[in-house]
Structure 1
Amino acid sequence: MSRFNRSLALAAVSFAALITAQGSAQAGAFSIREQSATAQGYSFAGAASGSGGLSSIFWNPATITMAPGWQSESHLSLIIPRIEIDAVAPTQTRVFGNSGEIGQDAVVPASAASYQINETLWVGLSSSAPFGLVTDPRENWSGQAYSRSSRIFSLNVNPIVGVKVNDWFSFAVGPSLQYFDIRLKRAAGIVPNAPSVILEGDDIGFGFTAGATLTPFVGTTIGIGYRSSINHEVEGTLSAPAGVLAATGVQLPIRASLNTPDQITVGLSQVITPAVTVHAGFEWTNWSRLKTPAILGPSGGVVSALPLNYEDGYFYSLGLDYKVTNQWTLRAGLAYEQSPIDTEIRSTRLPDNDRIWLSVGAGYQWSDKLSFDVAYTHIFSKDTPIRILPGHQDYAGLPFVADVDASTDIVSVAVRYRWDDPKVAIPAAPIVRKY
């Protein structure tokens, strides 16, 4: 990246770090999907084909060519998870109680900006938190030997260059700068007030994003976007009390190689009438690439591991919008998410499962330059068992069987502003095939 883009990236990271409370995974595994209040109103249907407005560049950077002039958007999502783990027989430690509420409310920001240089070329910048997780059960509970708290935090900055090749095809590409931080804590024993083992580390990695849009017919937009995997060489410490790694308590410098999953998103938006547009979406996330990262000590030997071994994740969505007036637009969406985590590998840190998303939203055009969006989503989770028994990748000699009660509410708001004068700016140049 140029010095200018590096400065923008560092500024965006600093700003996001100031306003982000914490990450809370609300996509499969530890992904965060809440990057757009606009697209959330459709349960993210058509996010890759532009249903999210400028914020769609998170999924498909080529949608930047749908934004005329000089624009910016800011999005803020409040995620309210409700997750509790209740141990059942034959869990011998269930006398120590259930987890309590392990989900943590979170505020997740995202922003996007674009500038149209001419009828062919656009530049833009996206800042987001694509990965995040906070689960925090009671300090003393029946599953403390498997987890006490877990935190994953990320910040991503993505400059973009978009090109409108002709009236029906556009593409875009850009580098990604990502900060990744992880902290995992568990008890070193099963009795209350047992000391903790803590692993923590962070890294900055680089990747890229690319995408294309196609409009084969008037009113039909197809988009496909790709976000690459990013390799993080995480460096940090592993702290353990006496008797766990050595006869005395230790704090080992450690490192681990972790690859975030790459992702493909496909969107379709179809105008039905001047007032009604329907959207569809599909998302594939390559979680199976995570495997089991080894945790290496200062001499290069393996001191521990992170057994992830996820399957791939899939997300299917449908949505529609209805333009009530020139100012008001109503949105609704439904989605089904296939989690990369099943009972064979499900842990107390991340008791994820398949989910159904139900969303509603609204947009208000205040003026030619200013508009607002709001969305609400409720996520219904399937019944979720945890079965850490012999053969499970987390099993450490202590059977742990439990049921998880989980649901999530999400409220998102956004503001969009156009900085130039729409009346004298470069023509919007919609992507429309003329034959």
Structure 2
Amino acid sequence: MKSKFLAFLGGAVLSAGIANAGGFQANLQGQKQIGMGHAGTGLALDHSSIFFNPGALAHLRQNGIQLGVSALNARIVYREPAPGISESRTNNPLSTPFQVYASYGKEESPLRFGIGVYTPYGSSVNWGNTWQGRFGLNELSLTAIFIQPTVSYRVSEKFGIGAGFVFATGSVNLQRSIPLVSTFGYESGLELDGGATGFGYNVGLYFAPTEQLSFGLTYRSRVDMKVDEGDVTYRLPGSPLIGANFSANRFNAELPLPANITLGIGFKPTEKLTLAADLQRIQWSAYESLKFDFNGNVGGPGMTTSESPRNYKDVFIYRLGAQYEVSESFTIRAGAYYDESPVQNGYLTPETPDADSRGISAGLTIALSEKVDLDASFLYLNKKQRTDDASKSGGVPGTFKSVAYVPGIGINYKF
């Protein structure tokens, strides 16, 4: 039991933050793009090109600031394997991934400078402390914020290049039950809490050979998030022997957030209609295992290190979107995408009960004035039902089903 305790502990602490290009990677970096299935690499739509394609940023003609936020409402249902028939449901708090972009360039200059602050990873999972898998996980909260200063250069009217440096900061909090009961009848528990930082970059090329056709290619690098001196706290029965088995109060860990390569195409068959398609490759194979180092025992004498296998696989996301300008002040959008799961059979866990996903979205823009636009979007995400024995991850065997509803709103100020 002690070895299983550490194995699952190692897998649970941060893995919810790395799994929504399958899982909880928050694909919510621009309100216009969300409305188009999150496609936008081959377009120069707005200042969110800082994320989607830095090479397209220099082709914008106006300076501006964008603010946007989404309300991520996710629900997961778990069913025990046969012969059990009971179910559990998460009671997740509302998550609010956000994005802030600003860019500036002189009217005739080929250079444009920008900065983006956005949340590509982060979510909350709350199973409660009475469900069947409580010794694996009660609750998990993760946030990751990327700060990206960017420069873009318009080589010609048809070609642009750009790059941005990424500083990532975030935090994680995990709570889980321990199968030890006090003399007063309450169940023991463990809480891990820590901050994480990492560095990376985002580069892009933009090419528009005609007014109707454009292409984009971007590479967002791997970011290794490091937790140093995270806090370990317990709720345990008052026994010296038990206390010696759980003496650690600090932990260190490192988690790879995978690199992404995206090819995008934009096509304008008419002056008012824009079509977009993105093919995104996520290099999840970087996530082979997760190792934790503790400054004392966690679960038994000499148990100060844990390493659990993940062996994720590289996957694709396929995106399609459309935008139609109904009038000068009103634009509508629609889109869809298919997101492959990187989690292989045997590795499913309750913090990342991941499966292939289908997303459908819609959106609109209303021009409130010459300088102010209002964006809105809505995304419905449906993950396939998945049954797994969790034999390789030390997780919770059973069947999981996930859905999410994600409305969003943004405001753009042009100057």
Is TM-score (shorter-chain normalized) higher than 0.5? yes
Amino acid paired to 1:401 = P
> Does the 8 Å CA contact 1:85/1:99 hold for their aligned counterparts?
yes
Amino acid paired to 1:411 = P
> Does the 8 Å CA contact 2:196/2:227 hold for their aligned counterparts?
yes
SS in 1 for 2:218: strand
Amino acid paired to 1:116 = G
CA distance, structure 1, for counterparts of residue 313 and residue 365 of structure 2: 36
Instruction: Quote how far apart the aligned CAs of 1:30 are.
Output: 2.9
**Partner residue in 2 for 1:393:** 393
CA distance, structure 2, for counterparts of residue 61 and residue 83 of structure 1: 35
Amino acid paired to 2:369 = S
Pick from 60, 70, 79: which aligns with 1:86?
79
CA distance, structure 1, for counterparts of residue 169 and residue 59 of structure 2: 29
CA distance, structure 2, for counterparts of residue 301 and residue 67 of structure 1: 56
Pick from 393, 399, 412: which aligns with 1:403?
399
CA distance, structure 1, for counterparts of residue 241 and residue 323 of structure 2: 57
Amino acid paired to 1:172 = G
- Matching of residue 280 in structure 1 with residue 274 in structure 2: no
Give unpaired runs (5+ residues) of structure 2: 1-16, 297-301
Q: Indicate the RMSD between aligned Cα atoms, in angstroms.
A: 2.6
**Partner residue in 2 for 1:418:** 414
CA distance, structure 2, for counterparts of residue 119 and residue 140 of structure 1: 61
CA distance, structure 1, for counterparts of residue 172 and residue 159 of structure 2: 40
- Matching of residue 107 in structure 1 with residue 101 in structure 2: no
CA distance, structure 1, for counterparts of residue 245 and residue 304 of structure 2: 19
Moved over 4 A (4+): 23-27, 190-193, 240-246, 299-302
- Judged with a 3 Å threshold, the aligned counterparts in structure 2 of structure 1 residues 244 and 313 are, in CA distance, closer, same or farther, namely farther
**Partner residue in 2 for 1:161:** 151
- Matching of residue 53 in structure 1 with residue 52 in structure 2: no
In the TM superposition, what are the counterparts of 1:141-152 in structure 2 within 5 Å? 141-152=131-142
Q: Tell which deviates more after alignment, 373-382 or 51-60.
A: 51-60
> Does the 8 Å CA contact 1:239/1:250 hold for their aligned counterparts?
no
> Does the 8 Å CA contact 2:73/2:405 hold for their aligned counterparts?
yes
Q: Deviations over 1:68-101 (max 9, x none)?
A: 232111111111112121223256xx7xx64332
Amino acid paired to 2:227 = V
Amino acid paired to 2:262 = T
CA distance, structure 1, for counterparts of residue 151 and residue 215 of structure 2: 19
> Does the 8 Å CA contact 1:24/1:105 hold for their aligned counterparts?
no
**Partner residue in 2 for 1:65:** 58
**Partner residue in 2 for 1:353:** 355
Q: What TM-score results when the alignment is normalised by the length of structure 2?
A: 0.86
SS in 2 for 1:131: strand
- Matching of residue 201 in structure 1 with residue 201 in structure 2: no
- Judged with a 3 Å threshold, the aligned counterparts in structure 2 of structure 1 residues 176 and 24 are, in CA distance, closer, same or farther, namely closer
Q: Tell which deviates more after alignment, 237-246 or 313-322.
A: 237-246
Q: What TM-score results when the alignment is normalised by the length of structure 1?
A: 0.82
SS in 2 for 1:264: strand
CA distance, structure 2, for counterparts of residue 86 and residue 224 of structure 1: 42
Q: Percent identity?
A: 23
In the TM superposition, what are the counterparts of 1:298-317 in structure 2 within 5 Å? 298=295, 302-317=304-319
> Does the 8 Å CA contact 1:147/1:349 hold for their aligned counterparts?
yes
CA distance, structure 2, for counterparts of residue 232 and residue 336 of structure 1: 27
